[in-house]
């Protein structure tokens, strides 16, 4: 059976831990310029309906380090479902590539690619999930604060794809999540209930509020993201008004754990977090961005059945 990486819901806590530990080993190999080419002769097809800096570079450079070759296809190169049906495109890509990565608007698109291509598919972002980002976040957390188990993560902002994946991985690994969103911008109800059930079994908590200070209380990690995702530009003014009071500032962070750290998956806008927090020594955003590559590489190897040697 072909294994995909569409959502962390499909992965056990043990499999997630393997990916994280493999990523840490791969990061050391990259730093040491160690020759490690288990994917020589393999091809990665990358479909991007939505533009990206970190997702493209991390996957393209990481796959090359592993010895493979990546082919980038933007919306200008291939219009899914316009010049050719998604079903037909999926089947063609499966004939050319060993692995397919897709950064798209709709979760249904990655589901179709996975069903019809016959090859492993990586969800590099859709409207519901961003699992690659969640892996990078946890590696960053563990590099700076030790095991994520028992830690408390505070999310301040939009109930979007990033927090969906982050709370899935957090509850599977034994962390608490406290989420503050304005009314009307809550996390997906079904995904939240799924996470609450796991948290209940693990003795951890998913806490929901509209009050950022309440969410930050005692948190080891404070996390935010853009308030205006690609595709939401027409709602910009309404969203900026709805998110008033949700900017991450030093004053807000006073309620957090004394050793709090800050994460943001980038790109960042000043309304989300001020310079005093974003550029301070508690901000882990640059290491977080760097860790996108080693975690992507771990997924590449896992899906293609390649062991990451110590």
User: 265, 280, 294, 301: which one is catalytic?
Assistant: 265
For the question of residue 126 being annotated catalytic, the response is no
Cα 257 to Cα 214: distance, rounded to the nearest angstrom: 13
Which ranges of the chain would DSSP assign to H, the alpha helix? 13-31, 54-65, 86-96, 107-117, 131-145, 161-172, 189-202, 212-216, 236-242, 250-253, 275-278, 285-303
Nearest to 62 by CA among 3, 12, 124, 6: 124
Nearest to 160 by CA among 131, 188, 122: 188
Cα distances (Å, whole numbers) of residue 143 to 21, 165, 291: 11, 19, 10
Cα distances (Å, whole numbers) of residue 192 to 171, 202, 241: 11, 15, 25
CB-based contact 251:226 (threshold 8 Å): no
Nearest to 286 by CA among 169, 191, 144: 144
Which residues have a catalytic role annotated? 265
């Amino acid at each position: 059976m072909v294994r995909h990486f569409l959502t962390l819901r499909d992965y056990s806590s043990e499999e997630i831990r393997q990916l994280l530990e493999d990523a840490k080993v791969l990061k050391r190999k990259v730093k040491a310029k160690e020759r490690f080419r288990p994917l020589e002769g393999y091809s990665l097809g990358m479909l991007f309906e939505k533009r990206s800096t970190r997702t493209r570079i991390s996957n393209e450079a990481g796959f090359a380090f592993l010895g493979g070759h990546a082919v980038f296809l933007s919306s200008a190169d291939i219009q899914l479902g316009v010049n050719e049906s998604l079903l037909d495109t999926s089947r063609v890509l499966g004939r050319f590539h060993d692995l397919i990565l897709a950064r798209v608007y709709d979760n249904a698109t990655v589901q179709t690619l996975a069903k019809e291509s016959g090859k492993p598919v990586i969800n590099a972002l859709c409207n519901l999930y961003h699992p690659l980002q969640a892996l990078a976040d946890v590696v960053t957390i563990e590099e700076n604060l030790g095991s994520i188990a028992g830690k408390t993560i505070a999310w301040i902002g939009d109930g979007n794809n990033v927090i969906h994946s982050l709370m899935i991985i957090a509850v599977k690994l034994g962390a608490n999540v406290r989420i503050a969103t304005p009314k009307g911008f809550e996390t997906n109800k079904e995904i939240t209930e799924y996470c609450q059930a796991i948290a209940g079994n693990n003795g951890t908590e998913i806490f929901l509020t509209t009050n950022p200070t309440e969410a930050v209380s005692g948190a080891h990690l404070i996390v935010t993201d853009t308030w205006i995702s690609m595709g939401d530009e027409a709602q910009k003014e309404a969203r900026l008004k709805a998110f008033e009071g949700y900017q991450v500032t030093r004053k807000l962070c006073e309620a957090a754990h004394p050793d709090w750290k800050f994460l943001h998956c980038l790109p960042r806008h000043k309304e989300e977090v001020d310079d005093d927090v974003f550029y301070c020594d508690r901000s882990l955003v640059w290491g977080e961005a760097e860790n996108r590559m080693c975690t992507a590489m771990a997924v590449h190897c896992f899906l293609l059945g390649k062991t990451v040697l110590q």
